[in-house]
Structure 1
């Protein structure tokens, strides 16, 4: 049976855990050769082994998205081991915020932009020559519901996620004539391992988990797998006339007002 990403070479940044892991594993099941790019070697090797054990084709490359040289090395290893990339999922991200924007340090500002926006651009810039040569390509950038609505106490994270939409739309317009599509996937609350660990440190983990889930009309948060399938749609030919768009997958959270 033909997979939706047969013959494709996909890079998934932040692919060792959470949403990125779910995307990497699904892409492999759909026939893609996958590069898992992440700073976490132990988890990255684990994901790679799991894919290869199921007859998939994957490599892990330890990658610091905040360092252009590290990105360049990762793309080089992808080309050498898997082939020229035709799909890029810019999933790697850094979550940090402060209650008072005036208290955000220059170090915090530069670090979060280095990963969430500059790193996203550097990864895109590194794969674009291959996509342009092939005359096709799909880039999926991970935005957020924070890309559109400001929630107090989430500075400067929300600023970077607004920037993701600008980057997505700019690249889509510039490279659309060359059959390179660029879209954003914007999740709501997702029960990633990081989120679950954070809740476990609170006094009432189950209560907080239910409270967060109840913010959504579906009365629950998403699983990582529920973000992987929309990412697959954006990456494959099923969305071939879709570019410069932001696919919001938030359980209906943004559809209603609450104070």
Structure 2
């Protein structure tokens, strides 16, 4: 086992699958005790059972990040069972695809902000007092390339992801004097279970996968593990003088001018 997060207590939201799961697994391998926080109880419990079978220290707490009481309970359970959190990975999020501005129902707008933005604020509000008390901490807010670029028909996902950058910068400035670092991790196209579900719904899944991969200079999509390692960098002492920044991991897609 490596030790870049030895003795750290980490909360990872949206960790039942995809990027969050990869982060939780890697953090355990690097010595952290991890709370897997997710609304999916079956998948989240499965993740934690596998981690515990491997000798790691992990717990699952069913969490709806859009509900402040649910988040408060999750953090309390983390403190009771693992210890006071020193690392927070705000990863939970939702996306509504193929929606233009005028086609977006009010309830989808509200739900997008409730999960993607309010959820991060709820977690920060509950965790930051413990970090202040300890005199250190790291927060990683998972944004997206949508935090900087607009892809048509992904409204209001990009709006929420833009807002995450503002939240990250504001918290970084406010919490710097407490030795609490706050950064954003911004992935591009990642082959999550949700992405494979989308591929499978197309007429030719492999062609759909290749088409998305080919828009990147690296000519492929990212694996979940390729996002987990940058998250580890931001959470560890290796990035100790980095705060208020956005780390874009997108295979070079955002630097390409043409579609």
Give yes or no for TM over 0.5. yes
| Structure 1: 4+ residue segments shifted above 3 A | none
Structure 1 spans left out of the alignment, 5+ residues: none
Match of 2:102 in 1: 102
Distance of 1:236 and 1:226 partners within structure 2: 16
Match of 2:239 in 1: 239
CA RMSD of aligned residues (A): 0.9
Q: Say which is worse superposed, 31-40 or 47-56, in terms of deviation.
A: 47-56
SS at match of 1:102: coil
The offset of 1:98, in angstroms, is: 4.5
Distance of 2:250 and 2:71 partners within structure 1: 30
Distance of 1:154 and 1:41 partners within structure 2: 28
Distance of 1:188 and 1:237 partners within structure 2: 25
Match of 2:216 in 1: 216
Match of 1:82 in 2: 82
CA contact (8 A) 1:98 1:156 kept: no
SS at match of 1:138: strand
- 2:158 corresponds to 1:158: yes
SS at match of 1:155: coil
The offset of 1:239, in angstroms, is: 0.2
CA contact (8 A) 1:182 1:244 kept: yes
Distance of 1:86 and 1:135 partners within structure 2: 10
The offset of 1:99, in angstroms, is: 3.4
Matches within 5 A, 1:104-119: 104-119=104-119
Distance of 1:108 and 1:255 partners within structure 2: 30
Structure 2 spans left out of the alignment, 5+ residues: none
Match of 2:11 in 1: 11
Matches within 5 A, 1:92-241: 92-241=92-241
Paired residues, number = 259
**Normalising by structure 1, what TM-score?**
0.98
Q: Say which is worse superposed, 102-111 or 243-252, in terms of deviation.
A: 102-111
SS at match of 2:146: helix
**Normalising by structure 2, what TM-score?**
0.98
- 2:51 corresponds to 1:71: no
